[in-house]
Amino acid sequence: MTILQVQSLIAGYEPGLSIVRGASIHAAEAEIVVILGPNGAGKSSLIKAIAGLVPITGGQVLLDGRDITTVPAHLKIRQGLAFVPQTENIFPLMTVEENLRVSGGILPRAEVGPRIEEIYQTFPDLARQRALMAGSLSGGQRQMLAVARALIVRPRVLMLDEPSAGLSPKLVEQVFARLTEIRRSGLTIVLVEQNARAALAIGDRAYVLVEGHEAHEGPAATLWNDPVIAELYLGQRRAS
Amino acid sequence: MSLQFLLNGLVNGSMIGLGAIGITLTYSILRFSNFAHGDFMAWGAYAALAVVGVLGGSTPLKPLSFGWPLMTALVVAMALTALLALVLDWLLFARLRARGQSIIVVMASFGASMALRNLLEFVFTSRPAYYSRAIQIAMPLGLGIKITADQIALLLLTVVLVTGMHLFVQRSQRGREMRAYSQNPALARVIGIDVDAVVRATWIIGAALACASGVMVGTLVQLRPLMGLDLLLPIFAAAILGGIGSIPGAVLGGLVIGLSEAAAVQVIGAEWRAAVAFVILMAVLLIRPMGLFGVAER
């Protein structure tokens, strides 16, 4: 069942200067959808526009059939759409627990505490660091906190903008393994990535975005095994 | 040398610190220097005077120089000053903020400041006014320091307000949201924080504390339409010394400025008092721009 549907989206920071130019994507329940593409293709702008952070001038965003195109950013999370930005995705001058607590603000007050404990069971490292300032965490721990922060409100769709950015290969493996685990709970994940190898390894389907719209779409394995796409758009030749 | 300046500086610093909280909140959350903040102090003080006038005089609660009317008026005036700040934001600042150029908002706050000041002078005249003309007998504390009952009451009020404010910002969900928004507005929106509610809370708290500070000045000194302008430099210096965004920093900054001004009066003469805040402000900007508790911009 399709949860997120984006139709012919046009978006950009300045009027008349669209970065996203007619992109259409969709994601089904419990699916991991990867969005790849060369630098400047509009990948980050696409999910920021879906999240309400880049003005949309055309097209539609449907979440579970409801039109959320013009819903303000702060209300989209209430509709079940969570977003983890690439950088500055935590509040560094707040503790780990405060990051979770402030993000759980849209839950009924009585649910926040128990939900934080559930999150700590999923992310045991965070439980040990709950009193630390988030700004003192390592890059991998920050990404885990950013994901945990987004999950606290039980979203239906989780969008992540390059969660592997700045992480060592080992940490990338850990973050992506955790995303695979999280998907098992039925969560839909939309992943924008430069690290095509790691993203396609966990993805079900993928889009290759070129000049603001999708140029290719298909099962992740198919795109990864297509030598033309890999060389032209993913910036690499397959290692083997 | 008399140590009375320590007590005087502490009391003066409390008033500056309360004013500086509003400045630091406005700057860190709304991202502009509000030069009309001093006039919120003056408007708050005069609003309390008007409410006292409506409630009528009563016997002071000895040994204080004031009674229940001023205490009631303080609460009402805090609400009215908060309302004034919200109206000003709705009429002026919010529209200019939406254009995304903070310098325009800063210049607008200059204009608002002048308008508010002149309006106050038009309504209440420029003659000094007083909540009470009762004479206070100071009690000796030792070491040559004396304190009046009003000073004790207002120091206690400062402690209550600052503690309450600190607990609100640290423990309440709205307080966490205010801190989150000041650190990263875009992320705050993404996690569902209602930005409008955060902005309203910032104005309400800042203006209410400015009013409390203004009423303190009016109680201990006198009310004048220019009282807010006179306090503007010290409260900015205190906010910057404490570190923009830090409430404990603003209070500590206020105390340092207050004590420094009082020491300057004692040591080098009253005519240098106004220069002290300026010197401290310049020194902080040159040596440690992030202030005592601030965090360097990344």
Of A47, A68, A74, A111, which to mutate for an interface test with B (greatest number of B Cβ within 10 Å)?
A74
Question: Could you tell me which residues come within 8 angstroms of residue B110 by beta carbon, excluding any fewer than 6 positions away?
Answer: B35, B36
B44 assigned to some structural domain? yes
B145 assigned to some structural domain? yes
Beta bridge partner(s), residue B139: B147
B70 assigned to some structural domain? yes
pLDDT digits 0-9 by tens, B217-237: 998 888 999 998 988 999 999
Q: Is A115 on the interface with B (CB under 8 A)?
A: no
- Can you tell me the distance from the alpha carbon of B262 to that of B278, in angstroms, rounded to the nearest whole number? 14
Q: Is the Cβ pair B190, A51 closer than 8 Å?
A: yes
- For the cut 60, the answer to whether the pLDDT of residue B297 exceeds it is no
B284 assigned to some structural domain? no
Number of domain units in chain B:
1
- Can you tell me the distance from the alpha carbon of A94 to that of A175, in angstroms, rounded to the nearest whole number? 22
Token pair for B69: 């009317």
SS3 state at A139: helix
| Distance to chain B for A72, nearest Cα, Å | 9
Which of chain A's residues have a Cβ under 8 Å away from the Cβ of B175? none
pLDDT digits 0-9 by tens, A224-234: 788 777 776 66
Give the start-to-end residue ranges of the domains of chain A.
2-85+156-232
Q: Which residue of B has its CA nearest to A75?
A: B192
pLDDT digits 0-9 by tens, B35-81: 999 999 999 999 999 998 888 766 787 888 888 888 999 999 999 99
CA distances from B169 to A100, A104, B236 (A): 16, 17, 21
Question: Mean per-residue pLDDT for B259-282?
Answer: 84
Residue identified by tokens 């993404």 is B190
Q: Is B189 on the interface with A (CB under 8 A)?
A: yes
Burial class, A236, CB count within 10 angstroms (exposed 0-12 / middle 13-18 / buried 19+): exposed
Domain of residue B99 covers 17-227
Q: What is the pLDDT of residue A71?
A: 92
pLDDT band at A28 (very low <50, low <70, confident <90, very high): very high
The 8-class DSSP code of residue B133 comes to -
Q: What is the pLDDT of residue B298?
A: 43
Question: Mean per-residue pLDDT for A184-191?
Answer: 91
B131 assigned to some structural domain? yes
B277 assigned to some structural domain? no
pLDDT digits 0-9 by tens, B170-190: 999 999 999 999 999 989 999
B211 assigned to some structural domain? yes
Question: Mean per-residue pLDDT for A150-170?
Answer: 88
Look at strands A188-192 and A157-161 and give their pairing.
parallel
Question: Mean per-residue pLDDT for A49-74?
Answer: 92
Q: Is B296 on the interface with A (CB under 8 A)?
A: no
Which of chain A's residues have a Cβ under 8 Å away from the Cβ of B192? 74-75, 77-78, 103, 105-106, 153
Q: Which of A65-74, A148-157, A209-218, B11-20 shows the lowest per-residue confidence on average (mean pLDDT)?
A: A209-218
Q: Is B184 on the interface with A (CB under 8 A)?
A: yes
| Distance to chain A for B180, nearest Cα, Å | 6
Of B29, B183, B191, B199, which to mutate for an interface test with A (greatest number of A Cβ within 10 Å)?
B191
| Option in A53, A90, A150 nearest B186 (CB) | A53
Q: Is A149 on the interface with B (CB under 8 A)?
A: yes
Q: What is the pLDDT of residue B207?
A: 94
| Count of residues in chain A | 240
Cβ atoms within 10 A of the Cβ of A166, count? 14
Which of chain A's residues have a Cβ under 8 Å away from the Cβ of B243? none
**In CATH, what number does A2-85+156-232 get?**
3.40.50.300
Q: What is the pLDDT of residue B202?
A: 93
pLDDT band at A211 (very low <50, low <70, confident <90, very high): confident
